[in-house]
Structures are given as structure tokens and as C-alpha cells.
């Protein structure tokens, strides 16, 4: 992701999440994000942090007009090419995301109570071991 991608990424964030991250968060973490494009249009993104020999997926979203077209798969596959253990949190009610992660070998390994600040929803912690 580059600075010129920020407005499109923030727009996708705002329409995808009930408690979106601010532009300043993306600006500070610009180096942690990969974007998916169709032509010149940003259609999705994924953010990761490397912590020792593990990767933590911090955020992922696809523009609603491009969902169910394999964009999330493509973004996740890019991250999973690295031989690391990968962790993420997902809302307990986000069944579509859970199914996507399970498809790639993620397993629920725990939960975080009241993880999401917008509605105190719990999150599942999911983990994928190196393949």
C-alpha cells in the first residue's frame, strides 16, 4: 500500500466495518498492508504484523462490489505463502470469514471476550500452522 492508496482503503474500511479504523492508523501502518487492484481501482486489502516467527492478520476487507469473487482468497494466499504460524481474530457472528479461514487450515484456538469495542462482541482467535 502506498499513500495514494489511502483514500480508497479508508473508504472500503468505512463501508465494511461498524467501528472502522481511522486514516491515521492506516497511514502509520502503511507498510503492513497489501492492496488488491482491478485496473487502477483498489478493491481490497489485508494488513499483517510479523511478531517473531508468527504473522498476525490485523485487518482484511474487500469492497462490497467485489465480494464473492475470490479477492479475499487471493489476499490471504499472499500472506500464507510465508512459512509462519498465522493468527487472527474474527467476530463470532462472521460466519463467512470463519469459513474462508477454515478453508485455509485455520482452527479456533480460543476466544476473546468483548473484543470488539463497537458492540462488545466476542472474537474467536484462529491459528494456522505452517504447511
Choosing from 89, 92, 104, 116, the catalytic residue is 89
Looking at residues 117-124, what average pLDDT do you find?
Answer: 92
Q: What per-residue confidence (pLDDT) applies to 3?
A: 92
Choosing from 33, 45, 87, 101, the catalytic residue is 101
Q: Is the pLDDT at 131 greater than 90, yes or no?
A: no
Torsion of CA 109, 100, 14, 42, to 10 degrees: 130
CATH 3.40.630.30 is held by the domain 3-128: yes
* 87 is known as an active-site residue: no
**DSSP for residue 70:** S
* 101 is known as an active-site residue: yes
Q: Is the pLDDT at 33 greater than 90, yes or no?
A: yes
- Give all strands (DSSP E) within 1-131, no chain letters: 33-38, 41-51, 54-62, 85-91, 107-112, 123-128
Amino acid at each position: 500500500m502506498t499513500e495514494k492508496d489511502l483514500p480508497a482503503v479508508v473508504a472500503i474500511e468505512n463501508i465494511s466495518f461498524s467501528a472502522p479504523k481511522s486514516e491515521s492508523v492506516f497511514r502509520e501502518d502503511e507498510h503492513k498492508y497489501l492492496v488488491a487492484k482491478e485496473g487502477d481501482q483498489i478493491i481490497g486489502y489485508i494488513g499483517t504484523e510479523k511478531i517473531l516467527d508468527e504473522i498476525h492478520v490485523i485487518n482484511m476487507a474487500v469492497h462490497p462490489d467485489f465480494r464473492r469473487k475470490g479477492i479475499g482468497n487471493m489476499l490471504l494466499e499472499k500472506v500464507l505463502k510465508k512459512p509462519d504460524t498465522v493468527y487472527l481474530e474474527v467476530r463470532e457472528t462472521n460466519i463467512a470469514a470463519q469459513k474462508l479461514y477454515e478453508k485455509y487450515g485455520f482452527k479456533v484456538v480460543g476466544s476473546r471476550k468483548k473484543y470488539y469495542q463497537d458492540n462488545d462482541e466476542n472474537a474467536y482467535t484462529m491459528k494456522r500452522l505452517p504447511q
